[in-house]
Amino acid sequence: MHRIRRRILLACGLTTAAMGRAPGLPGVPARDSLTFYIMRRGDRIGTHKISFARLPGDGLDVHIAVNVLVKLGPIPLVRYAHRGLESWRAGRLTGLQTHTDRNGTDLQMRAWRNERGLQVEGTDTTPYVAPPNALPTTYWNPRMLDGPMIGTQKGTLVNPKVTEIGAERIPLANGGAVATRRYAIRGKGMDVDVYYDFDHVWAGMSFTVEDGSLITYQRA
C-alpha cells in the first residue's frame, strides 16, 4: 500500500507535506469531465458521468451521475440511479452528499468537515469521524487507493486490501484502447478492479455481480 501511495504522489508531483497545501489533485482530466459506458455481456446497460467544476481559490466541485437499467424484454430487472456531489477546497475534501435509488430502496449519505474532522453519516450507518486519509469510493481520485474508503451509498467506512496488478491495455468505448495500471480492491463489500491511465486519470473498472456476469466500464 505504501509503495502505491508513493508512486501516485511522486508521479503527480505531490509529497506528503505538499498534500496539506495540495496545489492540485491527481485524477482531474484536462477536459473536466469523464463518461463511462457500463457494459454487461456486450450490451450497454448504463452510464457513469463525472463533471469537474473548478472554482476560484483552488476549489473544485465534482458532480457524479450514475444510471443503470437492466431489462428482460420489456420488464425492468435492475434499476439503479446515483447522484453525488464532492466539494474540495485547496486539495482537501470538505463535503460529500449522495442519494441512491437501488431498485426502489432509498440510500443516502453525507459528510462535512468541522473542527473534529470529516463527519460522516448515512443510511444504517452510525455517525463517525473519518480517518484523516479516508476518501470516498468515487474512483476518479487515485489517492483513494491509499487508505480507508468511505462508501458512497451508506457512508460505511471500509479498509480493503489494494494490490497493484500491473500494466494492462483496456478497450475504450470508441473502439480504441488505452494503456493503464490495474489495481485490485478486495474487502468487505468491495471486490472490484480499477484502472488508471498513465496520466493518473480513471480509465475503467470491472466487477462481477450476483448472477455471475461481468460488468465493465468503458471510457467514452
Q: What separation, in Å, do the N-terminal and C-terminal C-alpha atoms of the chain show?
A: 30
Largest interatomic CA distance in the chain:
55
Looking at residue 216, what is its pLDDT? 98
Looking at residue 24, what is its pLDDT? 66
Answer whether residue 115 is part of any domain.
Answer: yes
> Could you please report the per-residue DSSP string of 78-95?
EEEEEEEEEEEETTEEEE
Query: Residue 208 CB: number of other CB atoms within 10 A?
Result: 12
Looking at residue 57, what is its pLDDT? 87
pTM of the model: 0.88
Answer whether residue 154 is part of any domain.
Answer: yes
Answer whether residue 179 is part of any domain.
Answer: no
Q: What is the dihedral of CA 51, 56, 57, 60, to 10 degrees?
A: -10
Class of residue 213 by CB neighbours under 10 A (exposed 0-12, middle 13-18, buried 19+):
exposed
Answer whether residue 15 is part of any domain.
Answer: yes
Q: How many domains does the chain have?
A: 1
Answer whether residue 140 is part of any domain.
Answer: yes
Instruction: Give, for all 220 residues of the chain, the pLDDT tens digit.
Output: 444 444 443 333 333 323 222 336 899 999 999 999 999 999 999 999 999 999 998 999 999 999 999 998 889 999 999 999 999 999 999 999 999 999 999 999 999 999 999 999 999 999 999 999 999 999 999 999 999 999 999 999 999 999 999 999 999 999 999 999 999 999 998 999 999 999 999 999 999 999 999 999 999 9
Grid coordinates given for 139: 474512483
What Å distances lie between residue 47 and 50, 73, 104, 115, CA to CA? 10, 20, 19, 37
Q: What is the dihedral of CA 133, 138, 142, 145, to 10 degrees?
A: 50
Answer whether residue 94 is part of any domain.
Answer: yes
Answer whether residue 133 is part of any domain.
Answer: yes
CA angle 78, 83, 88 (to 5 degrees): 150
Cα(56)–Cα(116) distance, rounded to whole angstroms?
A: 26
Looking at residue 10, what is its pLDDT? 37
C-alpha 157: how far from chain center: 14
Answer whether residue 82 is part of any domain.
Answer: yes
CB 180 within 8 A of CB 195: yes
Structural domain harbouring 111: 2-159
DSSP state of 143: G
